[in-house]
Structure 1
Amino acid sequence: MCPHEPCCPTAEAADREAARTVAAHPEQGWSLLCNGVVLFEDTGELLPSGAAIDPHRPTPLMGAA
């Protein structure tokens, strides 16, 4: 369980990327979050269940200058 106050989002939550980083390896392109999610620099994710989330980079807002 998460020791942080307030608790980090779970790996199943939509905002799971907001969990705190507990191990960072930028030279390898990944970080481990408090909720067990492995976050890759291309925005892909590996969940503790073994499910992979495809990269989901933000897209530019329409009408933005």
Structure 2
Amino acid sequence: MCGHTPQCPDPAAPDRQSARTVCSQPVQGWALLCNGVVSFEDTGCLLPDGRLTPPHRASVPAEVAT
């Protein structure tokens, strides 16, 4: 899919969300990446084969959250 040099990461790669953005809808909270992954604002994503990956945000320590 990707024509960039170096190529964007494969959808199965751990760094899949570092691929270049092809199209985005920031108001709706999603972006289509060059590797076919739909990346969501909450850090979850929809892979080209239809599988979902859960959000992977880092948890905020209690002392920072207050």
**Which TM-score applies when normalising by structure 1?**
0.87
2:43 counterpart residue number: 43
Q: Percent identity?
A: 59
- Note the residue ranges of structure 1 that are not aligned, 5 or more in a row: none
- Note the residue ranges of structure 2 that are not aligned, 5 or more in a row: 62-66
Q: 1:13-32 maps to which residues of 2 (within 5 A)?
A: 13-32=13-32
2:16 matched to 1:2? no
Matched residue pairs, number?
61
Off by >4 Å, runs of 4+ in structure 1 = none
Q: Which structure dedicates a bigger proportion of its chain to helix?
A: 2
Structure 1 residue 26, shift from structure 2 partner = 0.2
2:57 counterpart residue number: 57
**Which TM-score applies when normalising by structure 2?**
0.86
Cα RMSD between the aligned structures?
Answer: 1.3
